[in-house]
Amino acid sequence: MKFVFNQKKNDHNREMLMMQPTVAEAKAALEKDDTDAYAWYVYGKALSLEKRYDEAIEAHSQGIVYDPFYAPNYFGRGGKLSTTGHFWGALADYTMAIHLDSSNWLYWYYRATTLNLAGHLEESIDDFRQCMKVSDPSEHYPLIHWIYSTYVEMGQYDKAEKSLEGVDATIEPPQMDYGYCRTVRLYKGMVKPEEFIEPDMKDKVLPREKRVELEQNTMYYGLYCYWMVHGQPDKAAEAIKKLLPIAYPGAFGYTKSIPIAKRLGLLK
């Protein structure tokens, strides 16, 4: 059956991902109905924002008890398990979320990233490609970046270049994907490397604390991949050097850069 993109559902999924409830607000909702799976999702999200990850995992688990067929709590718990390094538990939760709602591309995306961080690179590419099948082209920038950079990590530069055929980089992305979009346009030769990191990024990214640093972590790692593909390992190493002073713990770009920095002798 051909996938039909549902913009309203996609917007709702993004709102679920990006919401920033306070713990007090979430508790108030639970006081009205402590059997509401959505309220437990919101509470887990609020706890996560305060980096109270163990409590967030418990909150999502409680929501699953009340409604084991409500996919967001598996997704929410999976995210916190992945953040705390429990990759197999996270993969199990993401897989359950996918079984419950296979049209939600975010579930495929985060399972793919977790597979990737756990070292299952080929499998992660398969998930990223599946993710592309159930998402709108405007959502493809992070997916192409991951596929491209994963092929670079595997030393398969020809496949990295070929993967760029799967994206129309003239499409404008959601604001939260500014860095991914900029990076894919670099890969495709639409942006010159010397003009890649813009000085006025603050006005273009999400208005969140340290969002510029988060985007730059992605972009400097992308610049590393670009220079590796173009046979300039010294310039690639320089990109990692520039990433480290603005390291954003937990950012995918920084996480992927750590073993590279260690190989280069930049980190112990």
- Report pLDDT for 3: 64
pLDDT per position in the chain (268 positions), as tens?
566 778 888 888 888 888 999 999 999 999 999 999 999 999 999 999 999 999 999 999 999 999 999 999 999 999 999 999 899 999 999 999 999 999 999 999 999 999 999 999 999 999 999 999 999 999 999 999 999 999 999 999 999 999 999 899 999 999 999 999 999 999 999 999 999 998 889 999 989 888 999 999 999 999 999 999 999 999 999 999 999 999 988 889 999 999 999 999 999 8
**Residues ≥6 apart with Cβ < 8 Å to 70:** 37, 38, 41, 63, 64, 100
- The pTM score is 0.93
Alpha-carbon span 45 to 22, nearest angstrom: 9
Q: Are 158 and 193 in contact (CB under 8 A)?
A: no
pLDDT score of 18: 87
